[in-house]
Structure 1
Amino acid sequence: MIQSVYIHIPFCQHICHYCDFTKIFYDEQMATDYLDALANEINTQVLGEKNPVKTIFIGGGTPTALTTSQLRTLLSFIEKKFDVYNCEEYTIEANPGDFDEEKAKLLKDFGINRVSLGVQVFDDVMLKELGRAHRVKDVYKTVELLQKYGITNISLDLIYSLPHQTAEHFGRTVTEALSFGLPHYSAYSLQIEPKTIFYNRHKKGQLHRPQQEEEVSMYEILKQKMKQSGLNQYEISNFAKSGYESKHNLTYWNNDYYWGFGAGASGYLPGKRTLNIRPIPAYIKQAKEDGKPLLKVESIGLKERIEEELFLGLRKLEGINKVDFQTKFGFSHEVLFKDEIAHLVQKGWLIEDKETLHLSEHGVLFGNDVFEYFLLEDEDLEAIALTKK
């Protein structure tokens, strides 16, 4: 069963200096055309109405950059197409300051039960340097407004290792974020991506990044403060009160199937991964024509499935369940990775117990290095074939 749905809305009122997601400045007519194209894509790929799914995630871009009327059109269509009132988690991404009373009520009326707020940092000067439109006071107003309309499952998203940021400064941001007492927080290290303003500044030597030691200190502060506040780290960058872990993101980390709709969206279906056209005008044209705005379709064979099972599963602090792996693939993980696991355990990066395989606290800092040990060669599949003879 395809468990989840991701829907991409690419419009933004402001373009952040670090963002490389598919996005464009908001234009009312283009947004209207985009929603028509999006509906045709979804109708083409998903037959019938009230389709059962476990999670729905509307991301961007900034979905709440849409007008109230456009947002109602979008949510009405999703409500018709998917069984939103029986799905476990229905999330929309938003920026602080994007809501008025009418939009907040609209979300509640259409069954959205989780909001992910892009806060990034509690510092007005840094927010301006990031190209963000909101200010700290908007975070307080938005959280209060959402809670007024009964939306209490709110996540605050933070970014650290920002230009000119110190560990002490980031610690103050985490402390202020935790003062809201919310059930979920995410925090990601700033990545300098091509085709962004920050990338151009970086190439010119004009972007002052904290040293690696400072970044590690920020991450340690993050983990410590979250733990002190009773939040469990369940993934490398995510923390939650018990029962409030992001079910949608767990779809990705558990390597389960999901639809991806909208410009630049990716989907993971049995045997294949899909990627949609990124340029918004080209997406609109193709999606309106035949409902199949695909840039490419990549076949996912056994090799790729196993690699992704390890890469994604080890992002979770609980790691890989050995029995689940064997049930899913029909053979033990040791057939392919016995020596690699022994080496990583010896280095102190990996912990293997009776039931699971997971990163150590130290290994979390070297996640990408750990993942490289689980890349497979074609001849590795011969070992699998031998186990099935």
Structure 2
Amino acid sequence: MNIIGLGLREFWQRLRAPPDALMLEIGVGGELLVAKLRAGLSLALLLLPLVNIATGEYTPSEGIAGMFGVILAVAASQALLVLAHQQRRFRWLPWLTTSYDVSLTTFVLALLAPGSLAASLNSMVVWAFYLIAICMTALRNDGRLTLYTGALAILQYAALAAVVFALARAPEQLASADYGTARVSTVLQRLLLIGVMTAITATVVYRMQRLVELSGTDGLTGLPNRTLLVHHFPGVLDGARENGGSLTLGLVNLDYFRRINDEAGPAIGDHALRHAVGVLRESLEGGDLLVRLGGEEFALLMPLPAGRAWERLETMRRDLATRPFVPGQDASPLRLTFSAGLASWPQDGADLSQLMRRADLRLSQAKLEGRNRVVAR
């Protein structure tokens, strides 16, 4: 029971937590995909009123409400698609679009009320778009958005039902030959279905977050890996451009680390590597991103100009050199040092690959000059 409780607590905490950089980058692509789906679905919905009109199976109020809702959906979906195509990442856009999806569904259901109160609650074709809106939040990889969408759909549909039942002066007004009878029990069942769909979608989001986390995290050190750096960098670069900030990338390589693996064994080498990462982490500040590229090589992304970034890495170098790794009680301490090369945006490159190349050249220079040093120019 305790294991189940801990699992549910982790599930709930992860869903409510803001997504990390990698999830946000993936969510941007998901928002564009949702915008394309919304635009396609809106155009496809034009066929529904036309089919009803062609077959004669419609009421005037229902036909007008349907056409008005579809025209509004098409116009809005095209505007949202334009926003999703922008290079700039609007953090508020997923919240706006999902609110629009749910609210448009409620609005179209409300338009059906003058023709038939039962239709406004029992029109499954329109009501199903609550479930579609919830389902599409899985593409944004943000559990908070899924929970918000489900709660908004429940609140709006419950409020609509309360208004409809209040407007009905006689039971006959809640009955319809086409849509059946609107009942409180039926409304409660549909609210439960919305809740179930929210729970299922939230579980999908949680699972996707775990898979992305595993793909973007180094198993030995717990640091982000190259995949996360590649996805994280464009957003950091956009922020630096918009705010007039600075950005410096450092490549860090532990000196002669392979000797530890060869002489003391891979297990001791792993412990030494984690010791080095622990020392480096202590000097990190807000906005810094330390990434393990592979082996004994790391990248450090800092929102600083070259001079201050050099000072930060120089402090890390001295700290590591003065805090040797002790393999065991009777073992001799192992002194660890690193060499590093720095490259700054925009002086040394306009993108990640250019900065990596320039930083790697300076890292090579640091090694040629005797190692255990940081080279910025």
Whichever structure has more strand as a proportion of its residues is 1
Same fold (TM over 0.5): no
- Scaled to the shorter chain, the TM-score interval is under 0.3
Instruction: Tell me which of the two structures has the higher relative contact order, counting C-alpha pairs closer than 8 angstroms and 6 or more residues apart.
Output: 1
TM-score (norm 1): 0.24
